[in-house]
Amino acid sequence: MPEAAALLGAHTVVGIVGAGSMGVGIAQVAAQAGHAVRLFDAQPGVAQAALQRIGNDLATAVQRGRLQPAQRSAVLERLSLVDSIAGLEGCGLVVEAVAERLEVKQALFRQLEQWLPAATVLATNTSSISITAVAHGLVHPGRVVGWHFFNPAPRMRLVEVVRGLDTDHAVADAVSQLSRAWGKTPVDAPNTPGFIVNRVARPFYAESLRLLSEQLAPAPVIDQLLREAGGFPMGPFQLIDLIGVDVNLAVSESIFAATQFDSRYAPHPLQQELVHAGRLGRKSGRGFYDYQLDAATPTAVAVEPAPLRPTLRSSSQPGLLAPLVERLRAGGQVVVSDGSLPPESLAVDEVTVALTDGRTATCRGQGEPLLLLDLARDFATTRVLGAAASTGHHELLPGLAAALQPAGVELLALDDVAGLAVMRVACCLVNEAAELCTWTGTLPADVDIAMVLGAGHPQGPLAWGEQLGVQRVISVLEHLQQHYGDSRYRRSPRLWRMQAAHRS
């Protein structure tokens, strides 16, 4: 359908159906890019309120010097409201941002087909519904394309462009080109449950929920570790509360059903319980955290360092811990190199401290006292580390806290749960990204770009996997599967191929 693609230029009139947060954001992006925009919402007054929201957002941009007053006026002049689907006649592109329900979207597109010629491109902003299913039953399904913006659309750079089975390649290419003209970074996403971002991000939520239920640590501790040691902009429980516990659960349930109820994507009962209790996060005042006016914000409490600084030895093969060892030395801590210690380990006095490999400290220590450090994305700069002790040896944590103190690192106590927090989440993210590439042909670069720009991750999961080393990722996943007996930790075939490539 090249004639449809040819319509997507600077003079294309853009129609937006649905004036909720996503629709209004897309309308603003299109108008700021110079397009005449027609906005429609079936609910009375919603579209008018959306115009007011855009005006307020642009006014803020003027106040902050990011926009000139004349530019604000020009954008608002390009925006108009229509009171029916018929008012979208003449649009070369129509984007729907209505309720995330297949039957609603299908009914809308059938209406649009009655009023718009075959050359008009129809885009759905769905975050997880099959594009093929949305286009099913239309006379011209080739003009339907997935165009998934992220919230808030005016500020988020990523868009996922998704082709259904019948989507014309010229249409998808034209939407990608238009995305760039609007200042966005498009990625080709597969038409699979969750596309790229919502699919690959599942372990960030799912593993954190499991760690919380297994009592690795309270939610504020897990959040702080993943923020400060993992480099994520928000902790998982903060983020779920912001998104909405119900919304996050709905996405999980959708992907779980669409993947034939694969246990890897199973919703967690803890999240379901919060929804049943009406604790939906920030919007309801309570979720994993309490947002009521008189509620104290819970914080993570660090381990109190022992009064005496212990003797510290380091393996002659410190591996990922090398930046931490150098940082300790720079802070005045004497660190003696000891070739008798296992690779990637320290010794605080006579107690071994090792980087987690996915096993519990109790299992790995085999009756001997052992402390396990969680992963940090950058041991040279992190302000917080987590550690767990083998059964019956929690009294050893203050000594480790004292050893880390000269480097300005606080220690958070964790229970002896397999994989700890950052290492477990990171390896599962790497595996999920590799799995997506294995079965859909999605380019690794697109996955990494999508997760950085769309989810705010500190780096792409596949790049992180290269940094950690594919053998380490495989080993951690194997240990998790052995510990839990759960197929959710099965290794992606792509990881095996990556390992073979490194060996050769």
Active site residues: 127, 148, 160, 198
- Which residues are CB-contacts of 424 (< 8 A; sequence separation ≥ 6)? 207, 211, 358, 418, 476, 480
Amino acid identity, position 389: A
Give the pair of three-digit tokens for residue 24.
Answer: 């209004």
State how far the Cα of 144 lies from the Cα of 124, in Å rounded to an integer. 7
Angle (CA) 43 47 53, round 5°: 135
Amino acid identity, position 94: V
Angle (CA) 263 267 269, round 5°: 115
Buried b vs exposed e over 286-305: b needs ≥16 C-beta within 10 Å? bbbbeeeeeeeeeebebbeb
Helix (H/G/I), strand (E/B), else coil: 19: coil
State how far the Cα of 402 lies from the Cα of 502, in Å rounded to an integer. 39
State how far the Cα of 67 lies from the Cα of 74, in Å rounded to an integer. 11
Q: Burial of 282 by CB count in 10 Å (0-12 exposed, 13-18 middle, 19+ buried)?
A: middle
Give the pair of three-digit tokens for residue 447.
Answer: 């996955």
Could you say which DSSP state residue 280 is in?
A: -
My answer on whether omega of the bond before 461 falls inside 30° of 0, hence cis, is: no
Task: Specify whether the CB–CB gap between 224 and 300 falls below 8 A.
Answer: yes
Task: Specify whether the CB–CB gap between 96 and 18 falls below 8 A.
Answer: yes
State how far the Cα of 216 lies from the Cα of 425, in Å rounded to an integer. 13
Task: Specify whether the CB–CB gap between 168 and 142 falls below 8 A.
Answer: yes
Instruction: Give the number of other Cβ atoms within 10 Å of residue 266's Cβ.
Output: 18
The CB-based long-range contact list for 27-33 (8 Å cut-off, 24+ gap) reads 27/54, 27/79, 28/54, 28/57, 28/58, 28/75, 28/153, 28/154, 29/149, 29/153, 29/154, 29/182, 29/183, 29/184, 30/182, 31/75, 31/76, 31/78, 31/79, 32/75, 32/154, 33/181, 33/182, 33/183
Give the pair of three-digit tokens for residue 318.
Answer: 């410190």
Nearest to 333 by CA among 422, 389, 405: 405
